[in-house]
Amino acid sequence: MSKVDVLLGLQWGDEGKGKIVDVLTPNYDVIARFQGGPNAGHTLEFNGIKHVLHIIPSGIFHKEKINVIGNGVLIEPAIFNDEVEALRKKDVEPTHNLFISKKAHLILPTHRLLDAANEQAKGNAKIGSTLKGIGPAYTDKIARTGIRVGDILEFDFREKYQLLKFQHLQIAKMQNFDVDAFRIGDMTLDEYEEKWMKSLDTLRTFQLINSEYFINNCLRDGKRVLAEGAQGSMLDIDFGSYPFVTSSSTITAGVCSGLGVAPSAIGRVMGITKAYCTRVGAGPFPTELFDATGRTLCELGHEFGATTGRARRCGWIDMPALRYACMLNGVTDLIVTKPDIMDGFDEIKMCTSYVINDKDTDEIPFEFNEVEIRPNLLSFPGWKQSLSSARSYDELPVQLLQYLEAIEKRSGVRIMAVSVSPDRKDVLFR
Ligand code: GDP
Ligand code: IMO
Ligand code: MG
């Protein structure tokens, strides 16, 4: 019996999960997504190709490996169809090695309408949702009114769809949302619905399975399974900066419910953090920089959302948040990405604790969104050289090694690898 290893983000998303999953895939037989949906944007780069995945797991470019979309994931068929077509343009045929849980829930066009309506209704308190319909689709799942992938094979699918759509339109009306003016891209709701319905044909060509049996049989047969997280621990529905979070369980616990594996079947938990910190959308961000350094991180790090294109907010690494994430996830190994963005920095800072109402704390407070937080910052000298030629962990500049050591000491977790470029080849394992 083998175990499921987990790889997930420890910050507010975009830590480099897609890249690292792609790099780790050769060590596994199965790569499985367990939560989230098209709000995710996972970037892979190799052989001069750059590719962004949203719903499909990041092991897909390895043709001999099986990829699974688990029951905890949300599928938006039209976005899924676009993703499949983009892969085919790169000579990747995903029907061969991508299996989809029949229990995964569908995002309807009207879930996207409601996402927009809910954000509009929030006025100044907007979450900054990716507007892919995530919140409303998970709401229907929990309310037991959702539609699942397996339902598209049933004779009464259209009926179920129309009923749910009708309910969504009623809610939008109650919110005084202008349905006629609503657009997805440049399409009206009706136009998009047509595209969405056609996309179901693509979905039907895939192997739709009971993925909980599939994964557990793989484990029984000694196959190696890697669970790929989306978003990050600080966006978790329970432990993130609520309500400025996503609507799924982004932490290790989500692997159990999102794939149907027992807690005792969880193996290593690899957590990813950037060497600094970013956040896209609204919500607290204690180490955010509003100065030239912040802008430099954004520019050099190309910190623009892979899903929405929005500029990401940038700041120093936040150790109270990272320690919290390590605790919640049971992280056994750390992976640090993007230190190369700070190659030219004279000084690098790390938030070691928060000062709230004149008191020092290293706990994330319940009132995370309301209180004023001043980060206690520890300064480190920069390495002032390019990391592009580094070929092993031990060869990294001594200043960077000191910085990494401090991350280890304060998180209590050993670093297993450092990534120094977007490319597949530039990961230095210890
Ligand atoms: P994900 O959502 O966690 O998969 O991360 P994203 O793909 O949204 O964002 C990470 C961005 O950083 C992508 O543009 C990657 O190509 C890039 N990236 C990943 N690792 C590194 C790294 O070590 N150095 C640099 N410079 N870029 C990286
Ligand atoms: P990956 O997997 C970064 C953020 C949104 C918004 C909040 C809620 O690429 O790391 P939602 O659409 O889920 O209702 O948005 O969560 N968000 C992400 N931020 N990376 C992501 O995914 C994200 N997915 C959602 O910006 O603030
Ligand atoms: Mg991303």
Atom of ligand 1 nearest to the CA of 43: 7
Fold observed for domain 273-429? Adenylosuccinate Synthetase; Chain A, domain 3 (3.90.170)
How would you write the pLDDT of the chain (430 residues) with one tens digit per residue?
999 999 999 999 999 999 999 999 999 999 999 999 999 999 999 999 999 999 999 999 999 999 999 999 999 999 999 999 999 999 999 999 999 999 999 999 999 999 999 999 999 999 999 999 999 999 999 999 999 999 999 999 999 999 999 999 999 999 999 999 999 999 999 999 999 999 999 999 999 999 999 999 999 999 999 999 999 999 999 999 999 999 999 999 999 999 999 999 999 999 999 999 999 999 999 999 999 999 999 999 999 988 888 999 999 999 999 999 999 999 999 999 999 999 999 999 999 999 999 999 999 999 999 999 999 999 999 999 999 989 999 999 999 999 999 999 999 999 999 999 999 999 999 9
Q: Which ligand is nearest to the CA of 232?
A: 2
Q: Which CATH class is domain 105-203?
A: mainly alpha
The letter for the amino acid at 324 is Y
Query: What is the Cα gyration radius of the chain?
Result: 21
Please choose, from the candidates 405, 128, 422, the residue with its C-alpha nearest in 3D space to the C-alpha of residue 285.
128
Residue 325 Cβ < 6 Å to ligand 2: no
| pLDDT of res. 381 | 98
Name the pTM for this structure.
0.97
Task: Report the distance separating Cα 160 and Cα 147, nearest Å.
Answer: 8
Tell me, what's the pLDDT at 117? Answer: 97
pLDDT, position 37: 98
- Residue 305 has a pLDDT of 87
d(CA 4, CA 263): 10
Domain borders along the chain are: 4-101+209-269, 105-203, 273-429
Residue 330: both structure tokens together: 């049971």
Quick check: 312 and 14 in contact, CB under 8 A?
yes
Give the active site residue among 5, 14, 318, 426.
Answer: 14
Structure tokens at 195: 């595209």
Q: Residue 317: what pLDDT?
A: 98
96 belongs to the catalytic site: no
Identify the helix (H) or strand (E) that includes residue 247. none
Which tokens go with 209? 């399975």
CA pair distance 30, 3, nearest whole angstrom = 12
Helix, strand and coil percent figures for the chain, each rounded to 5:
35, 20, 40
Which numbered atom of ligand 1 lies nearest the CA of 21? 4
The class level of CATH for 4-101+209-269 reads: alpha beta
Q: Does any ligand 1 atom lie closer than 6 A to the CB of residue 420?
A: yes
- What pLDDT does 73 receive? 98
Q: Which pLDDT does position 329 carry in this prediction?
A: 98
* Ligand 1 atom showing the smallest separation from residue 302 Cα: 14
Ligand 3 center to 75 CA (angstroms): 17
Q: What does DSSP say about strands 277-279 and 359-361: parallel, antiparallel, or unpaired?
A: unpaired
